[in-house]
Structure 1
């Protein structure tokens, strides 16, 4: 039976090359080898069902991982099919090695972003990424099969001979190289196995061969045939003293003595072989979904709601998508979608498979039909993958639109949390936008949630096809008050995504226009001025000229209006087009560019000709302190619009002090100098 041979068909050892490619993913050997063991068990189960294999009565299918930090070894044992000498020669020496060559060819000359997703395909030979030497001990389920021992150093030459394995199955032993000894640490091994194999369909157990034995104590009636009794423990009876009728005391037994057993600690599987996503939604309680979310994502804020995906045709796809509760101020908007293949973890957030806007969610998608040994670029152009993406998009849109129709109260309650996700999806995915356009909500100044059509219908008489919006309720409070006084509504849109979102809505809804409430002075806020009112024209010209001179700013746009609200002396408006350009520049980190390159800042100073201060300026243009009033009116208008630049704020505070001193009858510093 003894046999020796060479695996390498060239003089070059390909494993250092593979190690370099997969430097950050050395731990995948655990996934590959445990997956092989799981496959071997699954195949044996099928043979058992077909009557071609009779399982021993006491045998339970499992995978055992044993680490030994002293010897720097890892053993991975399954009780699956096992292999004969011929099968090892075929599957290990020929096919598996051929597979690793194919793997190398796929990676050859690939850029990092175009690598094979999940690095599937390396299989058994992933062991050589972390090992100097690998051995296989296997016994086939076939009648009269002989055990086989195979070993190879460096993955180049091998030796194969008759072995001594007594149970059906396979043990792979890895003799780790010096760079990879971390993987025989029990806690590191547990971490990696739970990462890749937390939901594999076969029980996986881990033990440390160098650890001290651990024990537990059980009740007598809990003992099973599988337990190893170390010691019988007699727990004494519990007694207490009671007083008799004659006044004497006696000891009474209130609980008899009990026999317990100290046994070797029962092993606990690292994985859940029947994850929640494999169950029918009717079998899952609300608490099941919440506890699964906490366990998988380690997020102890409860999710808002979830979608259970379950599809068998035309492809097999299952999963659960959670809508997390996000604190917009502190939490990242990036979620985690874990992609699985037959309950084996592939990778997080594979954007070629999962619609980009879903990356804001948290969830698991398991698709056994997904092509794995292909590059990311191939996935992008794969029609099957596109169908998967479209199906997920449809299910999410159906869930949200259905909630809006049948459970509007909860939909509104969740809206502020789910709005960024829905708006991002509206921008990024045409089909999602078509399905969700009528179910996007807008919160108005009274806190009421409206659809787009509601907004247009409610304001049809006052401003047809125009929706006013607010981005900052505190900074724009002056404008909000003016709108409320005139009974004009606006919607609140404070998020960064709202600017590109409303642009997309305008593109899809012909004639619709979104305007921020400080864009221009609405006709409802102004008194009508006749075109031939020469006196008002003269007043406007004089005020404009004087303010430009006082502010030392010839380029500033100034407009004089007769406003109904006599309490507002001045205000700033900015054209909608300019503001959106500014928002775009901020989004693309171009904030340092001069808006003058695009035709000015778009800022207009509006003066209220009905306000006493503006009238005072007009009548006291020769007074020494009138220019200070002009500067103050400009800064106050700007402050109502947003914070001032540091230098301008310093000047504003200094000027405010001077004005108060003048009011108090004191001389200012400049007057003292004179």
Structure 2
């Protein structure tokens, strides 16, 4: 075959700078592209064997070899696939962006299934020039009588092509690395990149360091049963076997797993298989809670495994990782077009050969098909969770603390997910039992109907007011909640004593979730247990007694404002059933939410006090300490008791500031000293 020279058929002189600088965001991705091409070449040969146009030699094993040579600064990729003829090299290599994979599919579209063909655009080979100043191809086609071809190009612009000397079918591509890309000829760096992109490619990938010496034979102990005429000097173990030392040569092992777990049917996978795969892929020492095995053939091909990790503490990162593959070729992590945003809290792998990838295989073309895939994944997750609630309620409750942030985030971010999950959201109540929102409200209504006479009276009064012409605001069902069990323990005790339930909402995501629940159902409202004093916690009072309480309020307000030096202090006086409770702090739900919003957005550095009184001091008229202040307005220690009652109430509401805590401790010591005199 005579030597032929020419120029590559490039439509624009700027095409190569574009390929090098823009087409691929990561230069190490050439490993994926070249190994993918090798996988395609082998897959094509297998399909030719299936349709009877080629017969695979008996005993031949398909594989891809990757060779690194740090001394020569070269990388070599070898496959034993279909190879190429000279005409095919001209067509597929010399014409940029002519896809050999697409051409093969068009030629055999009635005989071969395209699912396992990876390449589509014909640009993958040219990623080699991002790191190499020179690339050579040695190839021999599967076709009978084909001659080997040698091709070489400097910088990807000019080429030389002629007859080669390759004796075995397949293709060998050698990269002569640029000075700034020598790192890729390092064994450990090359293995790292192969693991990143090619861990699950469908063809075994073998690696060789050409600068390394041959690995020595390794001694391994092989146990065999003790029989007559056995080795006398061998050591006999307790179970009657002899430990015999033999030399076995260590065989090469592929770097990848060509049959990852997601390619198997769920019935073929054990629980340990799923856990081991999770550890292997995500290097997470904590076992996942459970998983969903996706296995769909119609209307699109999609397989994968989604794991629910433990994310129960606020200090854990709740950011997951969903690895996206196409025909077992890694595309990217957390591609938002395919993976709904809330599912990013999970960990998993999704393989969808039907994805409409762009030419670099790094991103997706945005079309309706991608949206359908995203909707399907959302549906499968919702089906799994709702099914667990219906069939495995005990497990569902056991996992709820971990699932709760994920499900609530999903409801906030995805309307379809919220619609499917709204009936399966549960809340832990004060008895540490799980209830749905309807169950909680039904129990509260039973309490109101049978025990809460004070609220029944209030409703009667409201009815009278409405009949007298006063407008009545539509009554809402109140859901009481706790955000900090330790900090709000006093309020919890009072709620339990009064027979009123509340639910725990302790995660950061609960506040926006509460708002969403209120917006989706205008008949309910959420109120933290320290927002007000429930009527069932107070004693009923006559009209005369109420007038007396008003007088006490004025006197106590004056005393506390003077002692605390807080002119904006709001004071309420009540007769609480629990006489041991002296004082409490309440903050209305609306004020607290406004404060939280201001903290979140740091509204112009404004002081919350600019909006008027924020907290209310509740004083129990049935408590002896409060009565002492009332009866001894000008006594020596009245100011000190007022300060102590306020701080005690504040501590039960939220932590004191450092300076206030110091004063509280000093004052407490002083009070104890007075008791010893």
TM-score, shorter chain, exceeding 0.5: yes
- The match for 1:347 is 332
State how far apart, in whole Å, the 2-side matches of 1:121 and 1:544 are: 82
Query: Which of 494, 515, 524 is the aligned partner of 1:503?
Result: 515
SS at match of 1:459: helix
Q: Is the Cα–Cα contact under 8 Å of residues 236 and 258 in structure 1 kept in the other structure?
A: no
Q: 1:387 to 1:565 in 2, by over 3 A?
A: same
SS at match of 2:93: helix
State how far apart, in whole Å, the 2-side matches of 1:325 and 1:88 are: 52
- The match for 1:75 is 76
State how far apart, in whole Å, the 2-side matches of 1:627 and 1:620 are: 10
Q: How do 1:96-495 and structure 2 match up within 5 A?
A: 96=97, 122-216=123-217, 237-239=231-233, 262-263=248-249, 265-373=250-358, 381-462=366-447, 465-495=477-507
- The match for 1:647 is 659
Q: What is the deviation of 1:527?
A: 1.6
SS at match of 1:507: helix
Q: What is the deviation of 1:554?
A: 1.6
State how far apart, in whole Å, the 2-side matches of 1:378 and 1:270 are: 26
- The match for 1:520 is 532
**TM-score when scaled to structure 2?**
0.86
Q: Which runs of 4+ in 1 moved over 6 A?
A: 118-121, 218-221, 254-259, 374-378
Deviates more, 1:14-23 or 1:77-86: 14-23
- The match for 2:636 is 624
Query: Which of 558, 566, 569 is the aligned partner of 2:582?
Result: 569
SS at match of 2:95: helix
Q: What is the deviation of 1:14?
A: 5.2
State how far apart, in whole Å, the 1-side matches of 2:19 and 2:552 are: 81
Q: 1:259 to 1:443 in 2, by over 3 A?
A: closer
Q: 1:24 to 1:655 in 2, by over 3 A?
A: farther
State how far apart, in whole Å, the 1-side matches of 2:649 and 2:121 are: 62
State how far apart, in whole Å, the 2-side matches of 1:194 and 1:378 are: 20
Q: 1:435 to 1:601 in 2, by over 3 A?
A: farther
Q: What is the deviation of 1:475?
A: 0.3
Q: Is the Cα–Cα contact under 8 Å of residues 65 and 77 in structure 2 kept in the other structure?
A: yes
State how far apart, in whole Å, the 1-side matches of 2:557 and 2:591 are: 22
State how far apart, in whole Å, the 2-side matches of 1:6 and 1:556 are: 87
Q: What is the deviation of 1:15?
A: 4.6
- The match for 2:31 is 30
Q: 1:405 to 1:601 in 2, by over 3 A?
A: farther
Q: Deviations over 1:618-639 (max 9, x none)?
A: 1111123211211111111111
Does structure 1 residue 605 correspond to structure 2 residue 617? yes
State how far apart, in whole Å, the 2-side matches of 1:648 and 1:219 are: 71
SS at match of 1:238: coil
Q: 1:121 to 1:481 in 2, by over 3 A?
A: farther
Q: 1:378 to 1:62 in 2, by over 3 A?
A: closer
Q: Deviations over 1:225-269 (max 9, x none)?
A: xxxxxxxxxx99334899xxxxxxxxxxx9999896654x31111
State how far apart, in whole Å, the 2-side matches of 1:161 and 1:311 are: 47
Q: Is the Cα–Cα contact under 8 Å of residues 63 and 78 in structure 1 kept in the other structure?
A: yes
SS at match of 1:155: coil
Q: What is the deviation of 1:530?
A: 3.6
Q: Deviations over 1:394-429 (max 9, x none)?
A: 111111111111111111111111111111111111
- The match for 1:583 is 596
Q: Is the Cα–Cα contact under 8 Å of residues 635 and 652 in structure 1 kept in the other structure?
A: yes
Q: Deviations over 1:548-577 (max 9, x none)?
A: 222111222221111111111111111112
- The match for 2:90 is 89
State how far apart, in whole Å, the 2-side matches of 1:394 and 1:518 are: 39
Q: 1:419 to 1:183 in 2, by over 3 A?
A: same
Q: 1:567 to 1:119 in 2, by over 3 A?
A: farther
Q: What is the deviation of 1:488?
A: 0.9
State how far apart, in whole Å, the 2-side matches of 1:197 and 1:141 are: 25
Does structure 1 residue 555 correspond to structure 2 residue 568? yes
State how far apart, in whole Å, the 1-side matches of 2:128 and 2:360 are: 22
Q: Is the Cα–Cα contact under 8 Å of residues 514 and 526 in structure 2 kept in the other structure?
A: yes
Q: What is the deviation of 1:282?
A: 0.8
Q: What is the deviation of 1:119?
A: 13
State how far apart, in whole Å, the 2-side matches of 1:511 and 1:377 are: 47
Which stretches in structure 2 are left out of the alignment for 5+ residues?
101-118, 223-228, 449-475
Q: What is the deviation of 1:605?
A: 1.0
Q: Is the Cα–Cα contact under 8 Å of residues 99 and 123 in structure 2 kept in the other structure?
A: no
Aligned CA-pair RMSD: 3.0
Query: Which of 608, 626, 629 is the aligned partner of 1:595?
Result: 608
Q: Deviations over 1:27-81 (max 9, x none)?
A: 1000000001101111111111111112222321111101111111000001111
State how far apart, in whole Å, the 2-side matches of 1:411 and 1:183 are: 48
State how far apart, in whole Å, the 2-side matches of 1:657 and 1:24 are: 66
Q: Is the Cα–Cα contact under 8 Å of residues 20 and 127 in structure 2 kept in the other structure?
A: no
State how far apart, in whole Å, the 2-side matches of 1:601 and 1:266 are: 78
Q: Is the Cα–Cα contact under 8 Å of residues 82 and 141 in structure 2 kept in the other structure?
A: yes
Q: Is the Cα–Cα contact under 8 Å of residues 15 and 129 in structure 1 kept in the other structure?
A: no
Q: Is the Cα–Cα contact under 8 Å of residues 239 and 255 in structure 1 kept in the other structure?
A: no
Query: Which of 529, 539, 545 is the aligned partner of 2:552?
Result: 539
